[in-house]
Chains A and B, each alone.
Chain A
Amino acid sequence: MWELIRANRRRTALLVGLLAALLLVVGWSVGEVVAPGAGAGGLVVALLLWAGMTAAAWFAGDRLLLAASRARRICKADHPVLWNVVEEMCIAAGLSRMPEVYIIDEAAPNAFATGRSPERSAVAVTAGLLERLDRDELQGVVAHELGHIKNRDVLYMTMAGVMLGAVVLLADLGRRALWHGPAMRRTSSRRGGGSEAALWLLGLALAVLAPILARLMYLALSRRREYLADACAALYTRYPEGLASALETIAGHREPLWAANRATAPLYIVNPLGADAAGRSAWTRTHPPTAERARILRSLAGGTLSLERYDDAFRRVTQRPVGIVPRGARRAPELEPVAARTAHPDVRSHPTRVRELTDALWRAQGYDFLPCACGATLKVPPARAGEALACPRCATTLRAPAASSPA
């Protein structure tokens, strides 16, 4: 496992380095375009922009993301099953600290992980996911997310995303400068500056191509991460079928996820914008095709599990010559899988899952549950905590407990 993390770091450092180089080139050329000789100034602006965005992402990125997704933090009493599954997977992954658990109140099934390090991380799942998946499938999804956390994917994807944002911003600035700036006026007034015209064209090409190039690099990184997290989920659960069937359930579902947008889409386990459909080329996807991911996982069934076997399955299914697992991480030991779990299926029926879920959503909004002797349960809004309330069924006066601290 450690080899994988290390190899991951090296590869990502390389890609992030490339993105950084691109950022610097764009910064320098924008400077040159705005005022010849001001390339160094452009460099400084590019670096400042990048540093500012990185600092924002480092210190507040996870909070911003969770707030933008309208995720609510829960505690164990809110949804014991989800909490237990996260705890189980933490143990399986050997994470020293349990991530915070969030629920997003949306019908579309999906999930994401965030946080800059395993010590400060969070897992968020949607209500639709909790409603539709059984325990084994939920375990697969949570294992995939913890795989992201364990492999430090979240940090690298955030850093790469920031870099991409900076390149796009700068290139945008450059295009504006090219159309309205002094270089444009000079070129058009003098009419003969061949070298300046060439430079202008070069700048334009760069301003148009750089964001595209940066985006393609970012997406390549994103897709690779998804495969690796799938492989880790298979190792943690020792049951690839769980995640495979969860992926199919999620992908087979066509409800849009309202809280997601183009910026946050790469973070989810399956693209929430439905870009999984045909028509998107392999280069511009944020996620690998779900059917392919499920097929790779299924072909692992019935043998020992290892990153090497996942890699072989990946090459067999995608027919690509180069695998997904870094060379150094391939020689990890083979692990025994668990046999089919049909002997002990999830005993919770669909209505039970829905009940658990709605209770969790009420509690996450600060409602308290007050059981009455007649068998009814009152949901007490936070504003009425500590008041005397009459049971609507038997009219007994009950005292609501004082406001408990929010989860």
Chain B
Amino acid sequence: MGILLVLVAAAAVAALWLVGIFNGLVGLRNAVRNAWSQIDVQLKRRHDLIPNLVETVGGYAKHERETLDAVVRARQQAIQVSDSVVDKAQAENLLSQTLRSLFAVAEAYPDLKANQNFLGLQEELTSTENKISFARQYYNDSAMTYNNKTEMFPSNLVAGLFRFERAEFFEVEEPAERKVPQVRFS
């Protein structure tokens, strides 16, 4: 009787422990998904701002068709890309680069730089770039915590049993961008 009681108690404790690990993993996985949706929101916001920007800049800088077209193409590509983290990161990095060259071009047009609408768009895009990089930072932190948990003993046993998959990092490709993740258009 006594031994049975001890066994039952031990089984109950082990079960509770497993449930705790499982719930912890679920919580972390949801945090990663939530962080990803936060990036998604900001990327969409950027896609929405670009047509307006292209129109404003096009009105003043008619001879910069090439740069403007590059931005439009990069945006189109970023919208159509598949949902995989790696593909998306690549397309969005390309878009960031073309945007930067567009703002560099705008430097040569004093009238454009004084335009209230352009200034507002510039602030919005600067901030959206920052938000993307902060969202990416938060996503990668969450992904790291989650991945650590799925790989470390003993939670990796539970993770393997219930097929908790590794989260992918949202990487910045070029070493140049790694140096300056915060974009300031000037």
Chain B at the A interface: SS class: helix
A92 touches B138 (CB 8 A): yes
A91 touches B186 (CB 8 A): no
| Beyond known contacts A88-B130, A333-B148, A335-B137: 10 more, CB 8 A cutoff | A80-B127, A87-B127, A91-B135, A92-B134, A92-B137, A92-B138, A93-B138, A239-B182, A343-B180, A347-B185
Q: Does B63 sit within 8 A of A, measured CB to CB?
A: no
Contacts of B138 in A (CB 8 A): 91-94
The total of interchain contacts (Cβ-Cβ below 8 angstroms) comes to 65
| Top-6 shortest CB links A-B | A344-B184, A84-B127, A92-B134, A91-B134, A347-B186, A88-B130
Contacts of A345 in B (CB 8 A): 184, 186
What residues make up the interface of B, taking CB atoms closer than 8 Å to A?
31, 35, 38, 42, 120, 123-124, 127, 130-131, 134-135, 137-138, 141-142, 144-145, 148, 179-186
Q: Does A341 sit within 8 A of B, measured CB to CB?
A: yes
B120 touches A80 (CB 8 A): yes
B131 touches A91 (CB 8 A): yes
Contacts of A91 in B (CB 8 A): 38, 42, 131, 134-135, 138
Chain A at the B interface: SS class: helix
How distant is the Cα of A92 from the Cα of B140 in the complex, in angstroms?
11
How distant is the Cα of A84 from the Cα of B125 in the complex, in angstroms?
10
A238 touches B137 (CB 8 A): yes
Report the minimum CB–CB distance from B135 to chain A (whole Å). 5
Q: Does A205 sit within 8 A of B, measured CB to CB?
A: no
Contacts A91-B131, A91-B138, A238-B137 known; A333 to B144 CB distance under 8 Å?
Answer: yes
Q: Does A208 sit within 8 A of B, measured CB to CB?
A: no
How distant is the Cα of A84 from the Cα of B183 in the complex, in angstroms?
14
A-B contact pairs, 18 of them (CB 8 A): A80-B127, A81-B123, A81-B127, A84-B123, A84-B124, A84-B130, A85-B127, A87-B131, A88-B130, A89-B134, A94-B138, A333-B141, A333-B148, A341-B180, A344-B180, A344-B182, A344-B185, A347-B186
B131 touches A341 (CB 8 A): no
B127 touches A88 (CB 8 A): yes
Residue from A91, A92, A236, A238 having most chain B Cβ neighbours under 10 A: A91
Contacts of B185 in A (CB 8 A): 344, 347
A333 touches B182 (CB 8 A): no
Contacts of B38 in A (CB 8 A): 91
